[in-house]
Structure 1
Amino acid sequence: MTEQNITNVVLVHGAFADGSGWRGVYDLLTARGFRVSIVQNPLTSLEADVTATTRVLDSQDGPVILVGHSWGGTVITEAGIHPNVAGLVYVSAIAPDAGESSGQQYEGFASTPEFVIDVTEDGYGYLNRDAFHAGFAADLSAEDAAFLADSQVPVAMSVFGEAVTNAAWRDKPSWAVIATEDKAFDQAMLQHMASRIGAEITTVPGSHALFISQAETVADVIATAARNAQR
């Protein structure tokens, strides 16, 4: 069994994806003795995703490291007030403050023209398939990127205008992993958010799909959080 202080990890995916992308991180952490649970976000509203995450947190048998990728960062910011959560890990993730929306985090930063979102008539967003490889997963193979593009989960675009009520990072220690070739966010935006929340920052070469392509680094940061969150 692992000697880490915390052995429970909950992983929260972002928009346009589902929990299966965490498989590499899951395998690495479980091999080190962690108990890993993966949330499946409906991506229909902030409340729905927070509820899905809280349901998983309720099932844990002790303190938890709560991890979010991309939009999942907003989800863990709200859901992270759960008493089981001891620390937060943001993986190229959004980190709003209480009263702020995800969309507000983009204000004042450069646009990301390679990250192309197509919106349906009913208000759901998909990443453009032709731009998916370059915009979301440039460091994955063409075959893997095509699978992710064809299996992507649409997100209600309205979620990016929903403000969080709580900011768990204000009371709990945070870590951040930032991909230096992320095309979903301006690098300055990622660095600004991570610095504002006081996160211990790790940068790694990689695309927005770093939760897949850089699974070892992500798993190492989660393990570091587990060792140090309660100190």
Structure 2
Amino acid sequence: MSSNPTIILVHGAFADGSSWGRVISRLQAEGFAAVAVQNPLVSLDDDAAHVQRAIDRTKGPVVLVGHSWGGAVITQIGGQERVKSLVYIAAFAPDVGQSPNDTLKPFPPSAGLSGVSVDKGRFLTLTPEGMARNFAQDLPAEEAALLAATQGPVAAACFASKVGAAAWKTKPAWYVVASQDRMLPPDFLRATASRIGARTVEVESGHAPHLSRPDAVAAVIVEAARAI
């Protein structure tokens, strides 16, 4: 295991690090150490700092994996020497000077926006109905309810944060497109994967293929890790 890269998993909005559990068990079975970051979801800089601490706690090469908003985070921080490859799971991958919101502008609004609740502090959560209908529609109802109860509220300002670096310009990238995604339009995911020149795998899943299709997601991560 010591010769393998460490896999650092970066969750997105409306989730937490435990969402990677099924993927982690599969990566460990393949001989990889894996670490799930617990992002505060308050700003791009804060989330990037949490990922940096995870990198600093490891030794040797690293593969960064980002889901959804987590893709913007790994884009920002993934250019450093120890990071050898990037894996995007139904994720944002802005260019320098772009925010996630900027990258979405050419595409119609997603159905998932109808399930988002905004509090007075401008933090966003998914309603239980929104989670079941738009984020986790391909998971059992009890799992969707658990995700709704444990989700991490995300600052609306995160999605307006412009990245200062684009790691995918200098690192090999893989991208998992979720063909039934209701949070981010599948055509947006395909366009993003093409724009960054990623090795692309499309899976039939909702927005969280790491939960509903963990074998497929783990296989892509293992491919990226073994390509180093």
Shorter-chain TM-score tier: over 0.9
User: Aligned to 2:142, what secondary structure does the other structure show?
Assistant: helix
| Aligned equivalent of 1:111, options 99, 109, 112 | 109
Q: Is the 8 A contact 2:66 2:73 kept in 1?
A: yes
CA-atom RMSD, angstroms? 1.2
How far apart are 1:131 and its partner, in Å? 2.1
Structure 1: gaps (5+ residues): none
Q: Which residue is 1:197 aligned to?
A: 196
Matches of 1:216 and 1:68, distance apart in 2: 17
Aligned pairs for 1:112-131 within 5 A: 112-115=110-113, 116-131=115-130
Structure 2: gaps (5+ residues): none
| TM-score using structure 2 length | 0.97
2:199 is matched by which residue type in structure 1?
A: E
Matches of 2:183 and 2:106, distance apart in 1: 15
Q: Which residue is 1:14 aligned to?
A: 12
Q: Which residue is 1:34 aligned to?
A: 32
Q: How many residue pairs end up in the alignment?
A: 227
How far apart are 1:31 and its partner, in Å? 1.0
Q: Which residue is 2:133 aligned to?
A: 134
Matches of 1:159 and 1:114, distance apart in 2: 17
User: Aligned to 1:11, what secondary structure does the other structure show?
Assistant: strand
Q: Which residue is 2:173 aligned to?
A: 174
Matches of 1:79 and 1:121, distance apart in 2: 30
How far apart are 1:72 and its partner, in Å? 0.2
1:62 is matched by which residue type in structure 2?
A: G
Q: Is the 8 A contact 2:117 2:125 kept in 1?
A: yes
How far apart are 1:44 and its partner, in Å? 0.5
Over the matched positions of the two proteins, sequence identity in percent amounts to 43
Q: Which residue is 2:215 aligned to?
A: 216
Please give the per-residue CA displacement for 1:68-116, whole angstroms capped at 9, x wherever unaligned: 0000000000110122100000000000001100111111112112442
User: Aligned to 2:45, what secondary structure does the other structure show?
Assistant: helix
User: Aligned to 2:111, what secondary structure does the other structure show?
Assistant: coil
Q: Is the 8 A contact 2:4 2:31 kept in 1?
A: no
Q: Is the 8 A contact 1:184 1:208 kept in 2?
A: yes
1:83 is matched by which residue type in structure 2?
A: E
Q: Which residue is 1:59 aligned to?
A: 57
Q: Is the 8 A contact 2:178 2:189 kept in 1?
A: no
Please give the per-residue CA displacement for 1:158-217, whole angstroms capped at 9, x wherever unaligned: 011110000000000000011110101111111111111100000001111211111111
Matches of 2:150 and 2:220, distance apart in 1: 28
